[in-house]
Amino acid sequence: KYYHEACIQKYPPTVMQNKGFRCSLHICMTCHAANPANISASKGRLMRCVRCPVAYHSNDFCLAAGSVVLASNSIICPNHFTARRGCRNHEHVNVSWCFVCSEGGSLLCCESCPAAFHRECLNIEMPEGSWYCNDCKAGKKPHYKEVVWVKVGRYR
Protein backbone atom coordinates (compact mmCIF):
# COMPACT_ATOMS: atom_id res chain seq x y z
CA LYS A 1 0.00 0.00 0.00
CA TYR A 2 1.03 3.59 -0.51
CA TYR A 3 0.36 6.50 1.85
CA HIS A 4 1.04 10.22 1.89
CA GLU A 5 3.68 10.86 4.55
CA ALA A 6 1.45 13.45 6.26
CA CYS A 7 -1.48 10.98 6.32
CA ILE A 8 0.43 8.01 7.77
CA GLN A 9 1.96 10.17 10.51
CA LYS A 10 -1.55 10.80 11.90
CA TYR A 11 -1.71 7.22 13.20
CA PRO A 12 -0.02 6.81 16.61
CA PRO A 13 1.76 3.45 15.99
CA THR A 14 3.56 4.82 12.91
CA VAL A 15 7.27 5.39 13.59
CA MET A 16 9.29 7.29 11.02
CA GLN A 17 12.67 5.67 10.33
CA ASN A 18 15.71 6.48 8.13
CA LYS A 19 14.27 5.67 4.69
CA GLY A 20 10.66 4.96 5.53
CA PHE A 21 8.43 4.11 8.47
CA ARG A 22 7.16 1.26 10.64
CA CYS A 23 3.65 0.83 9.28
CA SER A 24 0.72 0.98 11.69
CA LEU A 25 -0.96 -1.88 9.76
CA HIS A 26 1.45 -4.27 11.50
CA ILE A 27 0.81 -3.08 15.07
CA CYS A 28 -2.31 -3.53 17.22
CA MET A 29 -3.68 -0.03 17.89
CA THR A 30 -5.11 -1.08 21.28
CA CYS A 31 -1.89 -2.67 22.55
CA HIS A 32 0.15 0.29 21.31
CA ALA A 33 -2.20 2.82 22.95
CA ALA A 34 -1.93 0.97 26.28
CA ASN A 35 1.89 0.74 26.12
CA PRO A 36 3.89 1.95 23.10
CA ALA A 37 6.90 -0.15 24.21
CA ASN A 38 4.85 -3.40 24.25
CA ILE A 39 6.59 -5.78 21.83
CA SER A 40 3.54 -8.09 21.69
CA ALA A 41 1.65 -5.29 19.89
CA SER A 42 3.09 -6.56 16.60
CA LYS A 43 2.80 -10.28 17.37
CA GLY A 44 -0.17 -12.55 16.65
CA ARG A 45 -2.97 -12.39 14.12
CA LEU A 46 -4.13 -8.88 13.26
CA MET A 47 -7.37 -7.74 11.68
CA ARG A 48 -6.67 -4.81 9.35
CA CYS A 49 -9.00 -2.03 8.29
CA VAL A 50 -9.48 -1.98 4.52
CA ARG A 51 -9.94 1.82 4.49
CA CYS A 52 -7.06 3.07 6.65
CA PRO A 53 -3.78 1.85 8.21
CA VAL A 54 -5.33 0.60 11.49
CA ALA A 55 -5.03 -2.95 12.84
CA TYR A 56 -6.21 -4.79 15.97
CA HIS A 57 -5.58 -8.24 17.42
CA SER A 58 -8.56 -10.44 16.59
CA ASN A 59 -9.98 -10.75 20.11
CA ASP A 60 -12.65 -8.92 22.10
CA PHE A 61 -10.06 -7.19 24.29
CA CYS A 62 -8.33 -5.45 21.37
CA LEU A 63 -10.87 -5.14 18.54
CA ALA A 64 -12.60 -1.75 18.70
CA ALA A 65 -16.34 -1.92 19.34
CA GLY A 66 -18.29 -0.98 16.25
CA SER A 67 -15.80 -2.56 13.85
CA VAL A 68 -17.47 -4.30 10.91
CA VAL A 69 -15.85 -7.69 10.32
CA LEU A 70 -15.56 -8.41 6.59
CA ALA A 71 -13.38 -11.54 6.70
CA SER A 72 -11.09 -13.33 9.17
CA ASN A 73 -8.41 -10.66 8.75
CA SER A 74 -10.31 -7.65 7.35
CA ILE A 75 -12.49 -5.05 9.06
CA ILE A 76 -13.87 -1.58 8.59
CA CYS A 77 -12.87 0.22 11.78
CA PRO A 78 -15.21 2.59 13.67
CA ASN A 79 -13.26 5.61 12.35
CA HIS A 80 -15.38 5.24 9.21
CA PHE A 81 -18.79 5.38 10.88
CA THR A 82 -20.95 8.02 9.26
CA ALA A 83 -23.93 9.32 11.17
CA ARG A 84 -27.22 9.36 9.30
CA ARG A 85 -28.92 12.75 9.14
CA GLY A 86 -32.12 12.91 11.12
CA CYS A 87 -31.29 9.78 13.14
CA ARG A 88 -31.37 10.93 16.78
CA ASN A 89 -29.26 7.98 17.94
CA HIS A 90 -26.41 9.10 15.67
CA GLU A 91 -26.06 12.64 17.06
CA HIS A 92 -22.76 13.45 18.77
CA VAL A 93 -23.26 14.22 22.47
CA ASN A 94 -20.74 15.52 25.02
CA VAL A 95 -21.13 15.39 28.79
CA SER A 96 -21.99 18.62 30.61
CA TRP A 97 -19.23 18.24 33.22
CA CYS A 98 -15.44 18.22 33.20
CA PHE A 99 -13.73 14.80 33.10
CA VAL A 100 -11.00 16.12 35.45
CA CYS A 101 -12.87 18.02 38.20
CA SER A 102 -16.50 16.90 37.57
CA GLU A 103 -17.75 20.52 37.59
CA GLY A 104 -19.84 22.21 34.91
CA GLY A 105 -19.18 25.52 33.23
CA SER A 106 -17.41 26.53 30.02
CA LEU A 107 -16.13 23.26 28.58
CA LEU A 108 -13.84 22.21 25.76
CA CYS A 109 -15.61 19.29 24.04
CA CYS A 110 -13.93 16.45 22.14
CA GLU A 111 -15.19 16.12 18.56
CA SER A 112 -14.84 12.32 18.61
CA CYS A 113 -16.08 11.10 22.01
CA PRO A 114 -18.35 12.38 24.83
CA ALA A 115 -15.42 13.81 26.86
CA ALA A 116 -15.40 17.46 27.95
CA PHE A 117 -12.85 19.43 29.96
CA HIS A 118 -12.21 22.87 31.39
CA ARG A 119 -9.33 24.45 29.51
CA GLU A 120 -7.80 25.31 32.90
CA CYS A 121 -7.97 21.66 34.08
CA LEU A 122 -5.92 20.59 31.05
CA ASN A 123 -3.62 23.61 31.38
CA ILE A 124 -3.82 24.39 27.64
CA GLU A 125 -4.64 27.40 25.48
CA MET A 126 -8.02 27.50 23.76
CA PRO A 127 -7.52 25.64 20.45
CA GLU A 128 -8.70 26.93 17.08
CA GLY A 129 -11.29 24.80 15.26
CA SER A 130 -11.92 21.13 16.06
CA TRP A 131 -10.34 19.63 19.17
CA TYR A 132 -9.72 15.99 20.16
CA CYS A 133 -8.93 14.69 23.66
CA ASN A 134 -5.68 12.85 24.40
CA ASP A 135 -7.40 9.43 24.43
CA CYS A 136 -8.86 9.99 20.95
CA LYS A 137 -5.55 11.35 19.63
CA ALA A 138 -3.83 8.21 20.97
CA GLY A 139 -6.34 6.00 19.13
CA LYS A 140 -8.10 4.61 22.22
CA LYS A 141 -11.56 3.21 21.50
CA PRO A 142 -14.16 1.31 23.56
CA HIS A 143 -13.87 -2.46 23.23
CA TYR A 144 -16.22 -5.40 23.44
CA LYS A 145 -16.71 -6.70 27.01
CA GLU A 146 -15.56 -3.33 28.39
CA VAL A 147 -17.74 -1.39 30.83
CA VAL A 148 -18.74 1.98 29.37
CA TRP A 149 -21.00 4.83 30.44
CA VAL A 150 -24.03 5.44 28.27
CA LYS A 151 -26.71 8.09 28.13
CA VAL A 152 -30.18 6.84 27.24
CA GLY A 153 -32.75 9.44 26.28
CA ARG A 154 -32.66 13.22 26.36
CA TYR A 155 -33.24 14.20 29.97
CA ARG A 156 -31.94 17.51 31.36
The pLDDT value given to residue 100 = 94
Q: Which of 55, 80, 105 is the last residue of a domain?
A: 80
The pLDDT value given to residue 142 = 84
Spatial CA neighbour of 51 closest among 111, 3, 12, 113: 3
18-38 pLDDT tens trace = 777 777 778 888 888 888 888
Count how many domains the chain has.
Answer: 2
Residue 116 belongs to what domain range?
82-150
62 and 15 part of one domain:
yes
Q: Which of 22, 50, 80 is the last residue of a domain?
A: 80
64-123 pLDDT tens trace = 988 999 999 999 998 888 878 888 777 788 889 999 999 999 999 999 888 999 999 999
Going through the chain in order, the beta strands assigned E by DSSP cover 15-17, 20-22, 46-49, 55-57, 68-71, 74-76, 108-109, 116-117
Give the predicted TM-score (pTM) of the model: 0.72
Spatial CA neighbour of 28 closest among 71, 67, 64, 82: 64
